Amino acid sequence: MHPSFAAVERLHQAIESLGGDAWFDRSELNAGDQWERKILPQIQRGVRLFVPVISDLTAARSEGYVFREWREALERSKKIRGRKFIVPIVVDTDYQGDIARYQSLVDEFPDFQALNFGRAPGGDPDDNLRNTLIAEIRAMRREDAQ
C-alpha cells in the first residue's frame, strides 16, 4: 500500500471517529470503470463536504480521475453560499504550510489558493483541522435536524 493511500485511510478513520459520514474509494479506479456514474453525481449533488487530499504524489501526477473530481467540486462550490464545501487537506508529514510546494496543483486549480489547507500529517488531523471538521460535522447535523 502506498504511504499516501495509508494516510487517506487514516484520515478517513479520523473523520468517522469525529462523527462524520465519510466515503472514499478504497480501490483505485481504473480506465473503463464507471466512475462517472458512481462518483460524479455524488460530487455534483450528494456530498456536503468535499475533501481533496493533497500530497507530493498528487502534485507529481500529470493526469488522473482525481483532477476531474476536483473540477466538479470547484464548479459546484460556485453555487454554494454560507458554508464550506471544499476543505483541502495535505497529508505529507513534512508539510510546513507553504502551498508553493504544490505549485503545479495551484496553477491548475487556482481557486484552491484562496482556501486554507488543512494539515493531517500521515493522515492524522492536527488540532486546527480537527476543530474545523468537528464544526462542519456539527453544522451538518444542525441542518439535518431542521
- Residues 38-87 have pLDDT tens digits of 777 778 888 888 999 999 998 988 888 788 889 999 999 999 888 888 99
- Residues 120-146 have pLDDT tens digits of 999 999 999 999 999 998 988 888 888
Residue 14 CB-half CA count within 13 A? 24
Residue 90 CB-half CA count within 13 A? 22
Residue 50 CB-half CA count within 13 A? 25
* pLDDT for residue 92 is more than 90: yes
What are the Cα distances from residue 89, in Å, to 52, 72, 130, 142, 146? 6, 17, 11, 24, 29
pLDDT band at 3 (very low <50, low <70, confident <90, very high): low
* pLDDT for residue 1 is more than 50: no
- Mean pLDDT (whole number) for 86-98: 93
- Mean pLDDT (whole number) for 23-29: 58
CATH number of 3-24+46-145: 3.40.50
- Mean pLDDT (whole number) for 87-113: 89
pTM for this entry: 0.85
pLDDT band at 25 (very low <50, low <70, confident <90, very high): low
The domain spans of the chain are 3-24+46-145
